[in-house]
Amino acid sequence: MLNDLWRIRPNPVPSVDVIVEREDGVVLIKRKNPPHGWALPGGFVEYRESLEEAARREIKEEINLEVKGLRQFHTYSDPVRDPRFHTITTVFIAKGEGEPRAADDAQELKIFKKNTLPSNMAFDHKQILEDYFNG
């Protein structure tokens, strides 16, 4: 459906990504679908959904957590940040309640610290996490 919309009127697509903080690091997922690699949990904003609602929904769908203290971090809008089409993502920071579990688009889930981030990251998520860790 998004590809059809893109052909009709090539506008940027809104998305959200969430830096889920845990005591031992941040949660990343290994994507099942292209583009492959490690990524922050997140996804597209649905019609009639706020950015905050989308962030909460994506966290529940992808890593099975409820979030607390959701707050905006930054917006990333480089037209080539997503190889599929032009997206604009709003990144949030939140605490996750419960035990994270990979689900939906997540093939695997791990918690990483600043010095253990994987090299094969999707999108611009390496840059996002560098911005986060470097304050």
108 catalytic, yes or no? yes
Alpha-carbon distance of 129 to 67, in angstroms, equals: 19
Calculated CA dihedral for residues 51, 77, 6, 126, nearest 10 degrees: -90
How many Cα atoms sit within 13 Å of 74 on the Cβ side? 13
Out of 46, 53, 97, 108, pick the active-site residue. 108
Q: Indicate the SS3 state at residue 29.
A: strand
Strand partners, 112: 26
Q: What is the DSSP letter of 121?
A: B
Residues taking part in catalysis: 108
